[in-house]
Structure 1
């Protein structure tokens, strides 16, 4: 049997029963106690849902504004012209353009977390389906990323709005802040995410919807949260 490292021994001692359920507060405190790295770790949530996203009526996807922000510098590109382009820049967009932005993205410059477009620009954006689609960056009116109000969309993206989307195995992953955030700030973001996911329950979901929830940090273990404490889950 391989010899345990000091960190592995410490984890085993502090975690005890790895299958134990935790309250959110206890899980967060445990992650803080175990943190040893020097960088500001991201606090992450994984939600295992009772859905099969291969079926259209069981897809879970949406946007949620995290009240405490994400602690991340979000890069936003906007497809717009004229006054809308000026408003997007004033709101803090990192790149604004039309055909020139399309060509730039086709050349491989895709260092963005969010792509927003005005409705009249979708003819241009549509040519980027094979480029933006696989990265989950394609503007979508249902997510508010195709909108005439690009100014607000940029502000929302910059202030902590995130997208959540269920993966093939029925799991949603999302970052809800940094280790440097206060407990209250992280918990407010956690509650906002859970609430949004619960409200996005699809018509085709049968049985228990939120099956498992875990909390982790960038370099820490995943700790199971007691779903009985989650409102609406």
Structure 2
């Protein structure tokens, strides 16, 4: 009941909003939470801020499958748990770079038993024989290492450092929408806006040459317990 009362109030506040620049959208989003009336309690956790793009692409076409990654300038406000499949010098380098878990077949065996207590999986190319059979477990969870995402790489230490610094992956869904995190509501307006602009620029840079018509159709900013605010393009 409290949640529905909260959302009803917030929707009323945002119903007259028109698309606005990134800085203004961030400011409105933060002010929505801080401006709640006394009879509506504030959320008791630091909400995740996300951005969503509706793109004019056909994800069924291989050359219009928008996906990639980016190291956001201000991170995402969360310490990502990084697992690395490697051996020898690469294993030692991954551990030195801050990997939470690093190893080979013993980690694969744990995953086959259902363990997925990590946020990112990275693998050196010579470990794909071990990693390949894990696709049924890791694939549906978005955790399968991929060369295209940069999580299959000979430079596992660099990849670990990037994800620890706030690197995020994104991929367009079958409806042509890309949805990804850009920080926490506790971030300053400047840091959230900088992250959002970086993500917008990254998506713009991936426009396929075969995409016809308007590429970036709409962009929305939201938080975990908030209605969305449209960003002007």
CA offsets 1:69-97 (integer angstroms, 9 cap, x no match): 00012011100011111111111111111
**Aligned residue for 1:212?**
218
Determine whether 1:222 maps to 2:219: no
Aligned match for 1:199, one of 205, 217, 220: 205
Determine whether 1:136 maps to 2:170: no
- 1:125 aligned counterpart, secondary structure: helix
Aligned match for 2:163, one of 144, 153, 157: 157
CA offsets 1:118-148 (integer angstroms, 9 cap, x no match): 1111111111121212222221122211111
- 1:143 aligned counterpart, secondary structure: coil
> Normalising to structure 1: TM-score of the pair?
0.90
What is the root-mean-square deviation of aligned Cα atoms in Å? 1.6
- 2:191 aligned counterpart, secondary structure: helix
Q: Distance in 2 between matches of 1:136 and 1:15?
A: 33
Q: 1:51 touches 1:209 (CA, 8 Å); kept in 2? A: yes
Q: Which runs of 5+ in 1 are unaligned?
A: 228-233
Q: How is 1:66-215 mapped onto 2 (pairs within 5 angstroms)?
A: 66-215=72-221
> 4+ runs of 1 displaced by more than 3 Å?
4-7
Aligned residues: 222
**Aligned residue for 1:17?**
16
* Compared CA separation, residues 7 and 151, structure 1 to 2 (3 A): closer
Q: Distance in 2 between matches of 1:129 and 1:6?
A: 40
> Normalising to structure 2: TM-score of the pair?
0.90
Residue 10 of structure 1, CA deviation: 5.7
Q: 2:22 touches 2:197 (CA, 8 Å); kept in 1? A: no
Residue 192 of structure 1, CA deviation: 1.2
Q: 1:78 touches 1:96 (CA, 8 Å); kept in 2? A: yes
Aligned match for 2:31, one of 30, 33, 40: 33
Q: 2:63 touches 2:210 (CA, 8 Å); kept in 1? A: yes
**Aligned residue for 1:8?**
8
Q: Distance in 2 between matches of 1:8 and 1:221?
A: 10
